[in-house]
Structure 1
Amino acid sequence: MKKETWVLKIAVIFIMLPVLAIIVFGFPAIIRDAAESSMQMAIVLYGILAALSLSIFPFAAALFQSFKLLNYIDHNEAFSDKSVDALRKIKRYAFSIAAVHVLSFPLYFIVGEVDDAPGVILIGLMFVSAPAVIAVFAAVLEKLLENALDIKRDNELTI
Structure 2
Amino acid sequence: MNRGSTVFLKIAIFLIGIPVLGLCVLLLPKIAMEAIEQAQDGAMLAYVVFGLLIIMYGSAIPFYVALYQGLLLLSYIDKNQAFSELSVNALRKIKNSAKLIFGLYVVALPLIFIIAEWDDAPGLVLLGMVIAGSSLIVAVFVAVLQRLLQQAIKIKSENDLTV
If the length of structure 1 is used for normalisation, what is the TM-score?
A: 0.94
Aligned equivalent of 1:77: 81
Distance 2:130 2:22 in 1: 18
Aligned equivalent of 1:63: 67
Residue 29 of structure 2 is aligned to residue 28 of structure 1: yes
What does the per-residue CA deviation read over 1:27-55, in whole Å, with 9 as the maximum and x for residues that have no partner? 13422542358621101100110000111
Residue 10 of structure 2 is aligned to residue 12 of structure 1: no
Distance 1:151 1:55 in 2: 36
Distance 2:29 2:146 in 1: 38
Unaligned stretches of 5+ in structure 1?
none
Unaligned stretches of 5+ in structure 2?
none
Q: Which moved more, 1:2-11 or 1:43-52?
A: 2-11
Aligned equivalent of 2:112: 108
Matched ranges for 1:85-104 at <5 A: 85-104=89-108
Aligned equivalent of 1:131: 135
Q: Which moved more, 1:71-80 or 1:28-37?
A: 28-37
Residue 154 of structure 2 is aligned to residue 150 of structure 1: yes
2:143 corresponds to which letter in structure 1?
Answer: A
**Sequence identity percentage:** 43
Distance 1:133 1:30 in 2: 29
Aligned equivalent of 2:46: 42
Displacement of 1:4 after TM fit? Answer: 2.5
Displacement of 1:26 after TM fit? Answer: 2.0
1:111 corresponds to which letter in structure 2?
Answer: I
Distance 1:127 1:30 in 2: 20
If the length of structure 2 is used for normalisation, what is the TM-score?
A: 0.92
Distance 1:124 1:110 in 2: 12
Q: Match of 1:43, SS? A: helix
